[in-house]
Structure 1
Amino acid sequence: MEEKAKSAMDAFEKLEKVGEGTYGKVYRAREKATGKIVALKKTRLHEDEEGVPPTTLREVSLLRMLSRDPHVVRLMDVKQGQNKEGKTVLYLVFEYMDTDLKKYIRSFRQFGVVPAATVKILMYQLCKGVAFCHGHGVLHRDLKPHNLLMDPKTMTLKIADLGLARSYTVPIKKYTHEILTLWYRAPEVLLGATHYSPAVDIWSVACIFAELVTTQPLFAGDSELQQLLHIFRFLGTPNEEVWPGVSKLVNWHEYPQWSPQPLTSLMHDDLDEDGLNLLSEMLHYEPAKRISAKKALEHPYFDDLDKSRL
């Protein structure tokens, strides 16, 4: 097995570690045979299992299937091997993309904003990729600018780090010292709901939308409580009337009472009326009221987009 692992990895030359994903290390690597640059994601498996657990195999075939969509990062290959301790590791070989939305947004911070037409093109692709995943019963659960990869030359956006998303709960901590960001996390998750719906991803999409427009995160809390308070301060403190069942959620307490602010107070004039409407449709407290990704694609905000080339 060790031989197999070595030979599997011999096909690649690791260039550098590009990150620590939620589920393992990620390397930029060159495939020796073709010279092609790829992203290698080394995935830890559950410690107690012999070989590759069937859940992981299901995950991988799911990732393979999802990566048929042009807005999901393509999984090109899977190599199985063993690490020094003799534990099974999987290497997932993904197409490599140069930058991500976090870096892209940051490049605009000093001077100006992301052009409105660019925001629209990127948002359309994001909604399309999310709609595809949801259409196959897969929730991402950790959408954020950092795991939306893009090619600034073609303005292509692709969803990455669909981690081995389903057989895990929402990851709480990164493996490094970096705290997992809560900024894109839906209020029902923060409040301890045990059943999620695709609406958790739509909330994240809304936060990403707002950040693309203003270049600043919409709700930037540094703890679960702070995160909730940021949301409540802006959208108003929820109650049973706007969100039936909210007070039964496990982390619900009596919170300070704020009234909702108009979205324009945060977006200023940077987003047109259709855009503001779409954003507000994504930010409903009650998950069932949030617009679906599929419906979002038909929203008037996207009417003037040339969709044929996307």
Structure 2
Amino acid sequence: MRNNHHRRISNEDINKRLSLPADIRLPEGYLEKFAMNSPPFDKPMSRRLRRASLSEIGFGKLETYIKLDKLGEGTYATVFKGRSKLTDNLVALKEIRLEHEEGAPCTAIREVSLLKDLKHANIVTLHDIIHTDKCLTLVFEYLEKDLKQYMDDCGSIMSVHNVKIFLFQLLRGLAYCHKRKVLHRDLKPQNLLINEKGELKLADFGISPHIQLEAQHQGVGCIFYEMITGRPLFPGSTVEDELHLIFRILGTPTEETWPGITTSEEFKTYNFPRYHAEPLVNHAPRIDNDGHDLLSMLLQFEAKRRVSAEDALRHSYFKCFGEQVQTLADTASIFSVKGIQLQKDPGKRSSVHPESSKSSKIEK
């Protein structure tokens, strides 16, 4: 339906809007190899010249990557595990079909243009972009699993200490995005990738900027709750189900808690009963007082009453990490701080089953 409204996107449009990431990570020794034939570096290299030398090295070319197993498939994209012949590192290859449907290039361009400019320890790195007539391939760093798989692997019982480490990293990534006016519209455990060091990174920015009433609450608070309890906070299957569950726990919103809600047509059509808020601790007994306080601040109905990611990072719940985590460089990992490390999760299964340790993806 929405296709009719899209202007047809040509290859030139895509080429105009894409350029290789500014700080593409070259293997050591590669630049020296080309320095002989290239002009002196005393003046800035033109983009065309820079792209030429990068493509000589092998960036922007499909044959630079070996495709391994398929990790997942979505409407527009298929994701493969791969290996770079340049660096020998594992990568995730997200192939976006361009001829399939007109929404795909828009989504792809949005994801690429956002990710090219985001350089942060808690945001997945885009290493390379390959554009052919039929396909746009985004080459991402490879992470072993997503948060959903991580929780499944520990039988949904995560160490409360690890929950705190993951939540802090999620908030760091989001605070960085918000500072750059980028909103991640689809925060869910499948879009949070985790490597074997325990570094958590936001993935999948190719989300349409449309947001509905029921989507307001899919967010950090819900992920925090799911990590601490092992189950989704609002597992509704329809919008009405979902809102029903939200209101049963947080109380049905009133003009006082959410100004303007009572005049919302969508809200009026459902005609919800008047629920009173239940104490969150009834639902999440493993949470301490500081955690409970932070969770309540994250789950406020109204966006302007909800705590921002930046303020949440300074909440007393994270005091045990010490002061140093507050001044980390954007690209520095939380694990660069002495003494911060993951603990063994109480329900963790040993990875005897190949399925449980099976690789992750950059979400469809």
Q: Any residues of structure 2 matched to 1:159-308 within 5 Å, and which?
A: 159-163=202-206, 165=207, 168-169=209-210, 189-190=213-214, 200=216, 203-253=218-268, 254-268=271-285, 270-306=286-322, 307=325
- Residue equivalent to 2:176: 132
Q: Deviations over 1:155-208 (max 9, x none)?
A: 110011112x3x5435xxxxxxxxxxxxxxxxx6328xxxxxxxx4x7511000
Q: Is the 8 A contact 1:108 1:215 kept in 2?
A: no
Secondary structure (helix, strand or coil) at the match of 1:82 reads coil
Task: Give how far 1:46 is off.
Answer: 8.0
- Residue equivalent to 2:129: 78
Q: Deviations over 1:225-275 (max 9, x none)?
A: 11111111111111212111112334112212211100111011x011000
Secondary structure (helix, strand or coil) at the match of 1:303 reads helix
Secondary structure (helix, strand or coil) at the match of 2:190 reads helix
Q: Which has the higher strand share?
A: 1
Which of structure 1's runs of 4+ aligned residues deviate more than 6 A?
Answer: 46-49
Identity of aligned residues (%): 41
Task: Give how far 1:77 is off.
Answer: 0.7
Secondary structure (helix, strand or coil) at the match of 1:256 reads coil
Residue 136 of structure 1 aligns with an amino acid whose one-letter code is R
Q: Is the 8 A contact 2:96 2:108 kept in 1?
A: no
Q: In structure 2, how many angstroms separate the alpha carbons of the residues matched to 1:138 and 1:237?
A: 30
Q: Aligned match of 1:107 in 110, 130, 153? A: 153
Q: In structure 2, how many angstroms separate the alpha carbons of the residues matched to 1:115 and 1:242?
A: 33
- Residue equivalent to 1:177: none
Q: Any residues of structure 2 matched to 1:149-164 within 5 Å, and which?
A: 149-151=193-195, 153-163=196-206
Residue 298 of structure 1 aligns with an amino acid whose one-letter code is R
Whether 2:34 is the aligned partner of 1:34: answer: no
Residue 63 of structure 1 aligns with an amino acid whose one-letter code is L
Structure 1 residue runs without a partner (length 5+): 84-88, 171-187, 192-199
Task: Give how far 1:17 is off.
Answer: 1.6
- Residue equivalent to 2:7: none
Query: What is the TM-score normalised by the length of structure 1?
Result: 0.78
Q: In structure 2, how many angstroms separate the alpha carbons of the residues matched to 1:265 and 1:206?
A: 16
- Residue equivalent to 2:70: 17
Deviates more, 1:38-47 or 1:226-235: 38-47
Structure 2 residue runs without a partner (length 5+): 1-10, 12-54, 335-364
Q: Is the 8 A contact 1:21 1:161 kept in 2?
A: no
Q: In structure 2, how many angstroms separate the alpha carbons of the residues matched to 1:57 and 1:25?
A: 16
Q: Which has the higher contact order (CA 8 A, sep 6+)?
A: 2
Residue 71 of structure 1 aligns with an amino acid whose one-letter code is N
Task: Give how far 1:57 is off.
Answer: 4.8
Q: Is the 8 A contact 2:186 2:218 kept in 1?
A: no
Residue 229 of structure 1 aligns with an amino acid whose one-letter code is H
Residue 60 of structure 1 aligns with an amino acid whose one-letter code is V
Q: In structure 2, how many angstroms separate the alpha carbons of the residues matched to 1:214 and 1:62?
A: 33
